[in-house]
Structure 1
């Protein structure tokens, strides 16, 4: 996963995806996927559910622990900025 100043680039299932931050509508833990895999503690979470402006969604896997928390916090901040910018127009 690579973060730039305008987008996230990552590989999933042999496909390279580039997602612009302005298209990100929501981010939250992918609880159903975590439960399905038997994860019981939040500190062991590795999956985030990204929802985009067109209502499509994607689950990404990240390293558990502090990396998960940091990426979740950063993406949540971007979502908050996007929602505030949309209110201005």
Structure 2
């Protein structure tokens, strides 16, 4: 069983990026606002950071998963499955976005070789979550190297 690294993830998010208008660290002051979304969590999961646009569109990072609800289509990614994280350059350029400060999408590769694109809030929230997921990816790779 891997150690819970919630505090490390939050520290990286704060240091390398930060909250935005729609992206918040879950804490005592705001957790009731998002409690309905936590029904998707297992007993061992802690909600950490949320991008909340509305009840049909949100992304939640927990200590174990990334949960995504996009236009009421729900999916999740186990963070221990992440082996690559990078900006979704092709998608950004296709939409005419070339300034990295305006990027909002990350492309995540999983152990099963599937790619998933997640939408984030541009600016500090994007940078912070990118760095957290990059840390998770490196952690997963080093864990697999020990096998």
Give the TM-score category using the shorter length.
Answer: over 0.9
Task: Flag the 1:56–1:13 CA change in 2: closer, same or farther, 3 A.
Answer: farther
Larger radius of gyration: 2
Query: RMSD in angstroms over aligned alpha carbons?
Result: 0.9
Indicate the residue corresponding to 2:114 in structure 1: 56
Unaligned 5+ runs, structure 2:
1-58
Distance (whole Å) between structure 1 residues aligned to residue 71 and residue 112 of structure 2: 22
Indicate the residue corresponding to 1:69 in structure 2: 127
Distance (whole Å) between structure 2 residues aligned to residue 35 and residue 78 of structure 1: 26
Alignment of 1:6-17 (within 5 A): 6-17=64-75
Residue 66 of structure 2: SS of its match in structure 1?
A: strand
| Count of aligned pairs between the two proteins | 89
- TM-score of the pair, normalised by structure 2: 0.59
Task: Flag the 1:13–1:55 CA change in 2: closer, same or farther, 3 A.
Answer: farther
In the TM superposition, residue 4 of structure 1 has moved relative to its aligned partner by 1.2
State the 4+ residue runs in structure 1 displaced beyond 4 angstroms: none
Does 1:23 pair with 2:81?
yes
Indicate the residue corresponding to 2:11 in structure 1: none
- TM-score of the pair, normalised by structure 1: 0.95
Distance (whole Å) between structure 2 residues aligned to residue 58 and residue 30 of structure 1: 10
